[in-house]
Amino acid sequence: MSAVLGISGTYHDAAAALVVDGHVVAAIQEERLSRHKNDPRLPFHAAEACLAYAGLAAAALDRVVFYEQPFDKLERVLVSTLEVFPRSLRQFPRAMASQLGDKLWVMDQLAERLGVDRAKVTAVEHHRAHAASALFVSPYERAAVLTVDGVGESVSTGLWRGDGRELTPLGRIEYPHSLGLLYAGLTAYLGFEVNEGEYKVMGLAAYGEPRFRDELAKLIRVEPDGWFELDLSYFGKLANADLGFGPKLEGLLGPRRPPYAPWDLSTERDQRYADIAATLQLVTEETLLALAREAQRRTGFDALCLAGGVALNAVANARLAKEAGFRRVFVQPAAGDAGGALGAAILGALELGDPRPGPLTTAALGLPADAAAAMALAGELGFSVKRSDDIHTVIAERITRGEIIALCTGRFEWGPRALGQRSILADPRDPDSRERLNRAIKRREPFRPFAPAVLADAAARYFPGAPDDMTPFMTTVCPCPDQAFAAVRHVDGTARVQTVTTATPALYAILEAMRAQSGHPVVLNTSFNGAGEPIIASEVDALAFLLSHPIDGLVVDDVLITKRPG
């Protein structure tokens, strides 16, 4: 038996993934256990949890693989800060302290903390880890692979040929010319937090018109083959790591939006920001389309895999599926930096001679919930506790009468999407549910959409184009022509669809019960977390949420828990 642990971390969204004999056994983001959103610290809790789930001691590991090369990253940081000296004077001491501290000696820390031989701890290139995380769990034997993010060691965009167990690089774009940097800079300009608010920009974009094309054309120049170059004078990231854009950008687009200010899209000010978001989204889509078409031209393959933080842009992914010239497109659920841990583990396993993993059919790769522990704690809190042999029908009945039910069942998900293991469920036809979720429960911006989960065998009836290879993991959007689904239909007439099969058994059973109750196997599915929090992991997290948020009930496996009898 061979066992390989992959690790990502030290920047944001740290994670660990365990591959045993070529099989993906567990994959866990550190934030789920530390309860620190996008936790960047080395994921020792997640690593220990993966090993414990598999019943392995760290000494049994054949390899621990880090998802990037620390010394190569140090070189890039040193060169990029010196290139803009003295503008980088304030950033330089901090950047060097960061890289010369824990980040440089990361592999020694991993060996010491995990208790493994230092000779077993290795590293792979960041974008190769991204590419592996997509290709090697995809349903394709051969595929073109695009990796697009802010930056790894020095690469921001990679084009790869994937064939069987092999990944061959075909092209690269280097930092600071980065689509991730462009999106992050404008995310900050729009008042959102970088590495957290990009998906908010995507939701906001649907409310705007792309009328700032001429202005954004000054920020990025894109060639027909997808090669692009930023005008760095608009970006402050090299000289100001906290902001991501410079004064020249405000001179071009106007004053930045104040962070945390309430949104009102009926005002001229906020509509202008929505129009900027719409333009950014369009430019991002068109750049990705040019890259994908070049990937198709160079490989001749009919399948495309995507990874890197930019691959979580579901709207862009839908356009790639329709317009890039590929018959099939796949994005694994944790496409961002967390996914690098999975790619690193797979690369290490392949190097040891293990088989390539089979296609990923579920994102339930975390730790399981404990219904007995939930019942005991709920009883101590004075909650109503009812066990049911037909819990899925109970959930469907409550949802169809307007209740909002949180679901904590089985192993928690891998990636930023709740996919029926740690979800909040509501009636997709009820706009009041959407309002209540946004205002009182999720406490988030009013323009952000909610997603539908639908049985795969009925999906095409409600969401044309579904199912495809991305819909099981909610990494694309589909048209939503039926305006009756008001709670999940975005303002642009689309929905970020999750198609459900028996691979997600609890949600599948709920949707079958929804079909019996309401005539349609569709439910609103949003992540089980509060504002600024990671998705819950354990039954203790779930009960804490029930205490502090006005949901109507919590289900842990086959147990219904409510604050009051009913």
* Distance (Å, whole) CA 236 – CA 546: 42
Give the DSSP per-residue string, 162-195.
EETTEEEEEEEEETTS-HHHHHHHHHHHTTPPTT
* Distance (Å, whole) CA 403 – CA 421: 19
* Distance (Å, whole) CA 145 – CA 132: 9
The tokens describing 26, both together, are: 């567990």
* Distance (Å, whole) CA 205 – CA 275: 7
Alpha helices in 84-211 (DSSP H): 91-98, 106-114, 126-135, 179-189, 198-205
* Distance (Å, whole) CA 9 – CA 475: 23
* Distance (Å, whole) CA 132 – CA 437: 37
**DSSP-assigned letter for residue 20:** E
What are the angstrom distances between the C-alpha of 397 and each of 310, 404, 514? 39, 11, 8
At 73, which amino acid appears? Answer: K
* Distance (Å, whole) CA 37 – CA 13: 8
3-class secondary structure, 28: strand
CB-side exposure of 375: number of CA atoms within 13 Å? Answer: 11
Strand partners, 553: 405
Structural domains of the chain ordered from first start: 3-124+338-360 (3.30.420.40), 179-331 (3.30.420.40), 366-562 (3.90.870.20)
Structural contact between residues 28 and 367, judged by C-beta atoms closer than 8 angstroms: yes
Q: What is the C-alpha radius of gyration for the chain, rounded to an integer number of angstroms? A: 23
Those residues whose C-beta lies under 8 Å from the C-beta of residue 39, and which sit 6 or more positions away, are 13, 14, 29, 30, 31, 534
The tokens describing 170, both together, are: 């075909």
User: Which of 552, 475, 491, 478 lies closest to 522, judged by CA?
Assistant: 478
At 537, which amino acid appears? Answer: A
Cis amide prior to 86 (ω within 30 degrees): yes
Give the pLDDT of residue 196. 85
User: Residue 516 phi/psi, 5° resolution?
Assistant: -70, -35
3-class secondary structure, 266: coil
CB-side exposure of 367: number of CA atoms within 13 Å? Answer: 26
**DSSP-assigned letter for residue 560:** E
Q: Is 115 exposed, middle or buried (0-12, 13-18, 19+ CB in 10 A)?
A: exposed
Those residues whose C-beta lies under 8 Å from the C-beta of residue 376, and which sit 6 or more positions away, are none
User: Tell me: the pLDDT tens digits for 445-474?
Assistant: 888 999 999 999 999 999 999 999 999 999
The tokens describing 480, both together, are: 């939503």
- Give me the tens of pLDDT residue by residue for the chain, a chain 566 residues long: 799 999 999 988 999 999 999 999 999 999 999 999 999 999 999 999 999 999 999 999 999 999 999 865 665 555 555 455 445 445 544 544 454 555 668 999 999 999 999 999 999 999 999 999 999 999 999 999 999 999 999 999 999 999 999 999 999 999 999 999 999 999 999 999 988 899 999 999 999 999 999 999 999 999 999 999 999 999 865 544 456 788 999 999 999 999 989 999 999 999 999 999 999 999 999 999 999 999 999 999 999 999 999 999 999 999 999 999 999 999 999 999 999 999 999 999 999 999 999 999 999 999 999 999 999 999 999 999 999 999 999 999 999 999 999 999 999 999 999 999 999 999 999 999 889 999 999 998 888 999 999 999 999 999 999 999 999 999 999 999 999 999 999 999 999 999 999 999 999 999 999 999 999 999 999 999 999 999 999 999 999 999 999 999 999 999 999 997 65
Burial 7-45 (b: 16+ CB within 10 A, else e): bbbbbbbbbbbbbbebebbbbbbbbbbbbebbbbebbbb
Catalytic residue check, 12 = yes
* Distance (Å, whole) CA 454 – CA 471: 10
Q: In the 3-class helix/strand/coil scheme, how is 29-75 assigned residue by residue?
A: EHHHHHCCCCCCCCCHHHHHHHHHHHCCCHHHCCEEEECCCHHHHHH
Structural contact between residues 386 and 563, judged by C-beta atoms closer than 8 angstroms: no
Give the pLDDT of residue 1. 77
Give the pLDDT of residue 241. 47
Strand partners, 7: 16, 66
